[in-house]
């Protein structure tokens, strides 16, 4: 039993998962993040029509530096880098979003089941999660790609199949606390079935967390794709931001001084990841009530001089 | 929880995980359909005796389950087969590569953790100031750059001033031990810097959020009411308690350390385990690939186990 | 009522003989909610507080949640967040210590003014021992170090009734009461002149609360300590303080000697607070006759529940029964109160009855139907008849559901009503039953309701099923004192109008005494006493009940404990 004062103090923790998210999304960090993601999404969707030149046939000289005709110069095959990067964005974003989607689905099923039912279901599912967590992803991907051969679908499956663990843990923790909330107990004691409780009362509360998680998963997926591509484990015929960098490195763009063959793709990856990170953490921070209180801050309270006396002094 | 219960649980978990990894390794390479890599003995250009010896050791003509036990038996003796590429035992190749990786990864990781803790604390305590904004956003930026991109940028910028290939100068014949050491150190600078830049950012963000969570705890207010100086509150209260989630989360970044190490070794031609894996893929050297996978997995599991033990030391609620 | 009238009134400062140990003068606190800079809103939380306290005196600062009482004492310690701005004076030894901002207060913290926090549970650093934390205060303030500090720690622990070896304990190894004692020991480490105690007993049991309050009184007398006690509980103030100040919306509306406040409250708010605070003296005499023609509505016979915390049960060695041979019954239209300290098994009993926790032995019948053997599916149908009211109204509603959806949900679950219109009629009827006009409230979300209104919605959501039995788990303990009466009156009316049987769990004997037909006192899983309120209060048959009664702080300062 805690007093009314305590009830008030922790009222912030009890509000809906959605309250506060709206405000968080109007912060500059979230707006910048969303802007960046939106920009690259539009670029990817309309890639075919936006790219100035072909991304498969040469349109200029080998390692031509940037010029008014070719803003970002040319690569070792005389292909326009700007067109390559736009084309690569389409595939990279596709890989990122599909494998992140896969990870989120597996992760939330694991998380909800083990958080909601607890007991042996929880033990079994979390033990499985624990094993997946300690497997070094990149090494497993190397092995899988080497055994089954490099292809985009393998990359997507492997990334998705290993990325879900953190989502599962986060969702499980959240569901576990939701499960102990009084309103869930109350609905349960009304006689509601598990499906109704999960679907009507738990999942809606999870939604913002899932969105934040999905966005962050996209960053990791894109990251892993570039790493795999760099090791030659992605589809060698597909153009992605990863293969663009790999190709340039392989063809000695560095010793040729052709930084423009590397930098644009790298910056695009960084931009998408910064965007997704800013947006995802804005939601996450808004969801974490513990971040709202700080008993130690750089600034201190102010002393306000009293102007005049009497009731109007304030 | 009774005494030692936690340690016991984690130990069993580590052992079981290693066992699962070993078995998974076996299944992946030999049992799955389509993995026509089962013949460990198909070493190119090998003598007939070597082929026969390998077939006998791994029982390649026997049923799968028998092969499995033979595989485990050979593993216990450190026999991982023979590399397709140089016909040397895989274990010898891996041991050398592991020795080369260690200085690179160890220095990089330790510096990145120390740096990450320092900037993370700064970002949390100075929350809302210009300094914090700069430090946090810098971390986000470095977190966002792919490792290979950072490596290549360093190559472009510093290739003329610092050695960028391998771990020692191939023409440095007749160097004294002291000079050799300095030479290796010079070769370490670029790869280690790349690793630090990739890892420190993630650590900063982890430490920052863990610290921010503890700063909202009631005991911080108690510490302030007690009249303790800021430094003391940060070290004995905020950081000391934040260390628990930090240890757990930093252990989870082991995966990205491995990724970083592989990419960096490829870019800087560092003859370590990552590069060994990479060339094994390129030359379809399956025994090396299997062995490398095992070594890396077992190392990661063991490091995770160490993190668990450290956590146990840090949290009195588990002990008493 | 404002500062003007207070200045003329004979307030505390003038009745002091000596120079005050601590004086707060014209304290104002504003909070800036800087969600974004353009729409920064400022709330004036503390408005011109004047308060003085002499050495050895105990002053209560009373008010309901959000009245600014905690902010006031945090301001005196300089512990406000950066969003606060402060004006006024905090005078210690003739000097205004807040004049130089936070750095000016720093040297006085703990040496001159120490504090005991509301959440003793989390106020200690969880990774350091109690002894380490007390010793740290001694060392940092140059009181003692080394062996001298260690022996001082032992001495301090002794003063608060803790053992020497408790210094080696980590916070999680101590119970709530022990932690609060350790907190007090730490607060006294540097011999402060003033001790600020913020709801020091709120999270504790009545019996433990009584012990802690007595300890505070004793220490303040022995050490000549000025004690400011912040609380929402008038009983606590009446039993411990000499003077008190009543706060409402950031202002002190009335201040004076506790006895005067109780006997001759000047301000209507003070009067309403005292009226709402339950008093054991108000216990009901004689229960009404209720119809028992059809046998007992609920009958619990010799129920025994072993807590299957972990795998321990299988080993058999450490079987502790949370509920051990409990029997009780509730009839139609009857209100029965189940009273006891936390951990006495009253909540477990309730969960047993609800079928949420399996029973190891014994039987429970509802409407003559045995329920301990029901499957979850069979239970679901029965839930129409048995409804539960939860303790925390802020928690018990899904914040995303409108009031009408919340109240309609039980109907949908049990497939009652053929059309939306028919269901809405039932919903509206239920809302009217709990005193909420449907036209005003049906479309609101929980965050647009007060705590009391939320509890009413929760009750409406149970009532809409026309249950026969209501189980109420501390239905008012999370509510402000002034709205408690309303909810209790509502429950009282429901049992009369709808013939609902109510089993109410409460830790508060005075509430039970005022509203229940019968009181069942539980301790350590067993029923120690059952009887009518008047008998329980005035002629308790067991020592335990007597101890429980004596622990209840009476709002009447003169009756230090209502007995006889």
pLDDT at res. B208: 94
pLDDT band at C291 (very low <50, low <70, confident <90, very high): low
What mean pLDDT comes out for the span B201-227? 92
Question: Are the Cβ atoms of B292 and A292 closer than 8 angstroms?
Answer: no
Within 8 A by CB and 6+ apart from C45, the residues are C29, C30, C31, C68, C71, C250
The sign of the torsion formed by the CA atoms of B9, B11, B14, B17 equals negative
pLDDT of residue B306 exceeding 50? yes
* Lookup result for tokens 């055994």: A147
pLDDT at res. A286: 81
Here the tokens at position C359 are: 């029973």
Task: Find chain C residues with C-beta within 8 A of A19's C-beta.
Answer: 399, 447
- Residue B310, beta-bridge partner list: none
**3-state SS assignment for residue A46:** coil
Here the tokens at position C380 are: 């679901």
- C-alpha span between C151 and C148 (Å, rounded): 5
What mean pLDDT comes out for the span A211-229? 88
pLDDT at res. C426: 94
Question: Are the Cβ atoms of C398 and A7 closer than 8 angstroms?
Answer: no
Closest CA to C130 of C193, C191, C199, C181: C181
The residue with greater pLDDT, C478 or B307, is: B307
- How far away is chain B from the Cα of C305, in angstroms, using its nearest Cα? 23
Are B211 and B127 in contact by the 8 Å Cβ rule? The answer is no
pLDDT of residue B28 exceeding 90? no
* Nearest-5° Cα angle at A82, A77 to A87: 85
- How far away is chain B from the Cα of C500, in angstroms, using its nearest Cα? 43
**pLDDT by residue (tens digit) across C409-440?**
999 999 998 899 999 999 999 999 999 999 99
- C-alpha span between C438 and C443 (Å, rounded): 8
pLDDT at res. C292: 53
Nearest to B140 among A242, A274, A293 (CB): A274
Are C68 and C29 in contact by the 8 Å Cβ rule? The answer is yes
- C-alpha span between B99 and C493 (Å, rounded): 81
pLDDT band at C186 (very low <50, low <70, confident <90, very high): very high
**What burial letters (b/e) apply to C365-404, b meaning 16+ CB within 10 Å?**
bbbeeebbebeeeebbeebbebbbbbbbbbbbbbbbbbbb
Please report all neighbours of C, defined by 3+ CB atom pairs within 8 A. A, B
**Smallest CA–CA distance from B128 into chain C, residue:** C82
Nearest to A182 among C233, C390, C507 (CB): C390
Q: How much of chain C is helix, strand and coil, in % rounded to 5?
A: 40, 25, 40
- C-alpha span between B154 and A29 (Å, rounded): 29
Task: Find chain B residues with C-beta within 8 A of A232's C-beta.
Answer: 281-282
Q: Where are the alpha helices (DSSP H) in C62-205?
A: 69-77, 102-105, 130-140, 146-159, 176-187
The sign of the torsion formed by the CA atoms of C179, C182, C183, C184 equals positive
pLDDT at res. A266: 93
The residue with greater pLDDT, B43 or B58, is: B58
CA B152 to chain centre: 21
pLDDT band at A65 (very low <50, low <70, confident <90, very high): confident
Nearest to C65 among A5, A14, A306 (CB): A5
Q: Lowest mean pLDDT of B81-90, B163-172, C161-170, C430-439, name the range.
A: B163-172
3-state secondary structure C277-337: CCCHHHCCCCCCCCCCCCCCCEEEEEEEEECCCCCHHHHCCCCCEEEEEEEEEECCCCEEE
Nearest to C137 among B221, B226, B317 (CB): B226
Residue B40 to residues A270, B283, B287, Cα–Cα distance (Å): 42, 15, 7
- How far away is chain C from the Cα of B308, in angstroms, using its nearest Cα? 17
What mean pLDDT comes out for the span A110-119? 93
Indicate which of A3, A22, A194 best probes the interface with C, i.e. most C CBs within 10 Å of its own CB.
A3
Q: Torsions phi, psi of C116, nearest 5?
A: -115, 125
Question: Are the Cβ atoms of B225 and C128 closer than 8 angstroms?
Answer: no
Here the tokens at position A137 are: 């992803």
pTM of structure: 0.86
What mean pLDDT comes out for the span C296-325? 70
Closest CA to B83 of B115, B112, B42: B42
pLDDT band at B79 (very low <50, low <70, confident <90, very high): confident
pLDDT band at C287 (very low <50, low <70, confident <90, very high): low
- C-alpha span between C536 and C337 (Å, rounded): 12
Strands (E), C93-130: 95-96, 113-116
How many beta-carbon contacts under 8 Å exist across A and B?
Answer: 170
How many beta-carbon contacts under 8 Å exist across B and C?
Answer: 68
What mean pLDDT comes out for the span B213-235? 92
**3-state SS assignment for residue C30:** strand
**pLDDT by residue (tens digit) across B55-67?**
777 766 777 788 8
Within 8 A by CB and 6+ apart from A64, the residues are A70, A73, A74, A78
Nearest to A301 among C81, C233, C395 (CB): C81
Indicate which of B146, B232, B248, B266 best probes the interface with A, i.e. most A CBs within 10 Å of its own CB.
B146
Please measure the distance between the N-terminal and C-terminal CA atoms of chain C and give it in whole angstroms.
40
Which DSSP string corresponds to C225-260? -EEEEEES-HHHHHHH-SEEEEEETTEEEEEEEHHH
Residue B190 to residues A148, A267, B177, B259, Cα–Cα distance (Å): 34, 20, 22, 17
H/E segment holding residue B13: helix B5-26
pLDDT of residue C9 exceeding 60? no
Question: Are the Cβ atoms of C381 and A191 closer than 8 angstroms?
Answer: yes
pLDDT band at A19 (very low <50, low <70, confident <90, very high): low
- Residue C502, beta-bridge partner list: C335, C470
- Residue C32, beta-bridge partner list: C42
The verdict on ipTM greater than 0.95 is: no
Question: Are the Cβ atoms of A296 and B234 closer than 8 angstroms?
Answer: yes
pLDDT band at C353 (very low <50, low <70, confident <90, very high): very high
How many CB atoms are located within 10 Å of the residue C170 CB? 19
pLDDT at res. C387: 92
pLDDT at res. A158: 84
């Amino acid at each position: 039993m805690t007093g009314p004062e305590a009830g008030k103090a922790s009222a912030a923790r009890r509000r809906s998962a959605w309250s506060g998210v709206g405000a968080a999304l109007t912060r500059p960090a979230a707006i910048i993040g969303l802007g960046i993601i939106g920009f690259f999404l539009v670029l990817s969707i309309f890639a075919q029509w936006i790219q100035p030149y072909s991304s498969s046939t040469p349109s200029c000289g080998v390692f031509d530096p940037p010029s008014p005709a070719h803003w970002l110069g040319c690569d070792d095959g005389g292909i326009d880098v700007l067109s390559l990067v736009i084309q690569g964005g389409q595939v990279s974003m596709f890989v990122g979003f599909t494998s992140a989607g896969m990870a989120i689905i597996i992760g939330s099923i694991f998380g909800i089941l083990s958080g909601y039912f607890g007991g042996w279901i929880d033990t079994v599912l979390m033990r499985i999660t624990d094993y997946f967590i300690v497997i070094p992803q990149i090494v497993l991907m190397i092995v899988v790609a080497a055994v089954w051969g490099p292809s985009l679908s393998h990359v997507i499956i492997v990334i998705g199949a290993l990325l879900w663990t953190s989502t599962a843990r986060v969702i499980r923790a959240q569901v576990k606390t939701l499960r102990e909330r009084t309103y869930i107990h109350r609905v349960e004691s009304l006689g509601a079935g598990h499906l109704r409780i999960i679907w009507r009362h738990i999942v809606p509360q999870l939604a913002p967390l899932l969105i934040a998680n999905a966005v962050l998963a996209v960053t990791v997926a894109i990251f892993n794709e570039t790493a795999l591509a760099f090791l030659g484990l992605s589809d060698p015929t597909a153009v992605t931001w990863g293969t663009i960098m790999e190709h340039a490195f392989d063809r000695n763009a560095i010793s040729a001084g052709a930084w423009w063959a590397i930098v644009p793709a790298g910056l695009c990856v960084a931009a998408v990841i910064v965007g997704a990170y800013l947006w995802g953490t804005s939601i996450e921070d808004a969801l974490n009530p513990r971040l709202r209180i700080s008993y130690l801050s750089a600034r201190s309270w102010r002393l306000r001089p009293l102007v005049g006396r009497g009731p109007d002094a304030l | 929880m009774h005494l030692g219960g936690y340690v016991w649980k984690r130990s069993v978990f580590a052992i079981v995980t290693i066992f699962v990894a070993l078995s998974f390794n076996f299944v992946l390479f030999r049992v799955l359909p389509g993995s026509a890599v089962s013949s460990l003995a198909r070493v190119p250009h090998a003598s007939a005796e070597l082929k026969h010896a390998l077939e006998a050791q791994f029982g390649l003509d026997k049923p799968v389950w028998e092969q499995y036990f033979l595989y485990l038996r050979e593993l216990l003796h450190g026999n991982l087969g023979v590399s397709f590429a140089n016909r040397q035992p895989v274990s010898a190749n891996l041991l050398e590569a592991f020795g080369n990786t260690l200085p690179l990864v160890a220095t990089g990781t330790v510096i990145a953790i120390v740096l990450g803790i320092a900037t993370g604390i700064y970002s949390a305590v100075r929350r809302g100031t210009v300094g914090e904004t700069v430090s946090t956003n810098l971390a986000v930026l470095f977190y966002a750059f792919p490792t290979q991109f950072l490596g290549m940028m360093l190559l472009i910028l510093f290739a003329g001033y610092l050695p960028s290939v391998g771990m020692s100068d191939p023409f440095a014949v007749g160097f004294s031990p002291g000079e050799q050491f300095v030479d290796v150190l010079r070769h370490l600078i670029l790869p280690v810097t790349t690793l630090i830049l990739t890892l420190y950012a993630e650590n900063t963000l982890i430490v920052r959020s863990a610290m921010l969570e503890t700063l909202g705890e009631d005991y911080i207010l108690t510490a302030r009411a007690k009249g303790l100086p800021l430094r003391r509150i940060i070290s004995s209260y905020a950081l000391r308690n934040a260390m628990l989630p930090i240890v757990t989360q930093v252990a989870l970044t082991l995966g990205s350390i491995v990724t970083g190490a592989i990419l960096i070794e490829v870019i800087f031609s560092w003859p370590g385990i990552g590069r060994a894996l990479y060339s094994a893929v390129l030359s379809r050297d399956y025994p090396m690939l299997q062995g490398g996978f095992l070594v890396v997995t077992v190392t990661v599991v063991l490091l995770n186990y160490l993190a668990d033990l450290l956590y146990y030391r840090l949290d009195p609620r588990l002990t008493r | 009522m404002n500062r003007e009238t207070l200045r003329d009134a004979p307030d505390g400062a003038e009745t002091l003989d000596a120079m005050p140990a601590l004086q707060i003068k014209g304290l104002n606190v504003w909070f800036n909610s800087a969600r974004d800079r353009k729409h920064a809103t400022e709330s004036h939380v503390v408005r011109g507080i004047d308060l003085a306290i002499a050495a050895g005196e105990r002053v209560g600062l009373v008010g309901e949640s959000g009245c600014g009482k905690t902010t006031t004492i945090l301001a005196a310690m300089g512990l406000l967040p950066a969003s606060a701005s402060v004006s006024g004076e905090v005078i210690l030894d003739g000097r205004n210590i807040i004049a130089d901002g936070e750095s000016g207060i720093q040297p006085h913290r703990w040496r001159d003014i120490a504090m005991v926090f509301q959440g003793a549970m989390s106020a200690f650093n969880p990774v350091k021992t109690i002894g380490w934390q007390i010793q740290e205060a001694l060392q940092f303030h140059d009181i003692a170090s080394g062996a001298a500090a260690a022996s001082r720690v032992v001495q301090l622990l002794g003063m608060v009734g803790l053992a020497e070896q408790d210094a080696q304990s980590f916070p999680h190894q101590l119970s709530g009461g022990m932690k609060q004692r350790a907190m007090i020991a730490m607060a006294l480490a540097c011999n402060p002149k003033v001790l600020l105690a913020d709801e020091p007993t709120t999270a504790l049991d009545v019996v433990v609360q009584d012990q802690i309050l007595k300890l505070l009184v004793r220490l303040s007398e022995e050490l000549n300590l000025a004690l400011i006690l912040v609380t929402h509980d008038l009983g606590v103030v009446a039993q411990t303080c000499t003077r008190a100040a009543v706060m409402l919306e950031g202002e002190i509306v009335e201040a004076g000697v506790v006895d005067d406040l109780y006997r001759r409250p000047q301000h209507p708010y003070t009067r309403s607070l005292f009226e709402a605070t339950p008093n054991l003296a108000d216990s009901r005499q004689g229960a009404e006759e209720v119809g028992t023609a059809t046998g007992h509505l609920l009958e619990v016979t010799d129920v025994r529940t072993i807590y299957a915390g972990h795998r321990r049960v299988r080993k058999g060695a450490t079987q502790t029964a949370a509920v051990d041979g409990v029997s009780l019954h509730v009839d139609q239209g009857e209100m029965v109160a189940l009273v006891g300290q936390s951990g006495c098994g009253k909540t477990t009993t309730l969960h047993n009855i609800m079928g949420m926790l399996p029973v190891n032995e014994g039987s429970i019948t509802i409407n003559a139907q045995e329920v301990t053997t029901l499957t979850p599916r069979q239970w679901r149908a029965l839930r129409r008849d048995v409804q539960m009211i939860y303790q925390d109204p802020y928690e018990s509603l899904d914040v995303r559901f409108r009031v009408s959806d919340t109240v309609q949900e039980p109907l949908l679950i049990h497939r009652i009503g053929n059309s939306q219109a028919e269901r809405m009629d039932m919903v509206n009827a239920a809302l009217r039953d709990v005193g909420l006009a449907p036209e005003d409230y049906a479309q609101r979300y929980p965050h647009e309701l007060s705590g009391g209104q939320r509890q009413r919605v929760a009750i409406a959501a149970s009532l809409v099923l026309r249950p026969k039995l209501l189980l109420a788990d501390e239905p008012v303990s999370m509510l402000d004192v002034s709205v408690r009466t309303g909810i209790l009156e509502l429950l009282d009316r429901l049992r009369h109008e709808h013939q609902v049987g109510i089993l109410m769990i409460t830790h508060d004997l005075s509430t039970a005494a005022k509203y229940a037909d019968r009181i069942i006192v539980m301790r350590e899983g067993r029923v120690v006493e059952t009887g009518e309120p008047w008998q329980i209060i005035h002629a308790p048959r067991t020592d335990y009940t007597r101890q429980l009664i004596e622990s209840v702080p009476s709002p009447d300062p003169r009756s230090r404990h209502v007995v006889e």
